Amino acid sequence: MHSMQQRQLKLQDILYQLSDLTEDIRKKSETIEYNPAMLEEIEERLDLIYKLKRKYGASISEIREYCSESEKKLEELIKSEESVAALNKKKAELEKKLYEASVKLNKERVSAAFLLESGIGAQLDELEMKNAAFKADIQFDPASGSGRKYTVNGLDKVEFLISPNAGEPLKPLSKIASGGEMSRVMLAIKTILAEVDKIPTLIFDEIDIGISGKAAQKVGEKLSFLSGTHQVICVTHLAQIACMADNNFLIEKTTENESTRTVVSQLDSSDRIKEIARLLGGSESSETSMQYAEEMINNAKMLKKT
């Protein structure tokens, strides 16, 4: 009986609470003003936000960020004429500086070309190419404005020209037919540019064609000079050149079982003297040739020390 009364009391309390809540809701509803126009505006706003999310971002913050970037681009477009004018002005200033630098470079290059032609001419004279003419042909492009074609050489087109023999026209160095002439011209150029040339290894083949005596001696000396700053590999048949080498190798072709192969062997001091003697036209067993070969090698050593 007692428990029944307790339940009734609880139910009565709940009833009072519900009654209070009902009254609160009623009062609240009486203060709400129904506005169809505002409701329509809110629904349209929500619909707009949904469309914006679908096109410009998954969240309001992303939509705002997209809007900010678009405003910047619009501002750039509005001011594009001013920007283009400013950029064209800057471009003109840079082109002026670039052209002035190219003109200065051309003057320096022309001046250096004169010294190069003179130096290489002297070298070719020593290498028994006394009638050869060498020229560094420099063509400056005077085009204006956008017609100028700048390269790493500025506005200059540089080409080495040479006439190996008297009466022959100057032709591009790359079109010289003779391997021996090409080798000697390159030796002359490399001798002049030895201190600034960064190529680590130089290979000379057929450099001894058409020379002998003093000219051959000069070629050997210049090759030795180059070896101070470069690795020099030279194929030669002249004793005057071979004796200047720091290391000598003998290249031979052998035929065995109808098969030809090339054998390269390094020469020791004794074999070197024998090979120099053979190149001198004497016999390896000739005492005179052997003595002369040894004398040439010793003289070459003394020359290289100086």
Written as one string, the DSSP assignment of 266-282 is E--HHHHHHHHHHHTTS
Q: Has domain 177-306 been given CATH number 3.40.50.300?
A: yes
Torsion from C-alpha of 271, 277, 280, 285, nearest 10 degrees: -130
CA distance 290 to 284: 7
Domain residue ranges of the chain, discontinuous segments joined by +: 77-175, 177-306
More confident residue, 297 or 258: 297
Cα–Cα distance between 206 and 179 in angstroms, integer?
Answer: 6
End-to-end CA distance of the chain: 135
Q: Which tens digit of pLDDT belongs to each residue from 78-135?
A: 777 787 888 889 988 998 999 999 999 999 999 999 999 999 999 888 888 888 899 9
Question: What tens digit of pLDDT does each residue of 241-264 get?
Answer: 999 999 999 998 888 888 889 999
Each residue of 138-163: pLDDT tens digit? 999 887 766 788 888 889 999 999 99
Q: Tens of pLDDT along 193-247? A: 887 888 889 888 878 887 788 888 889 999 998 898 889 999 999 999 999 999 9
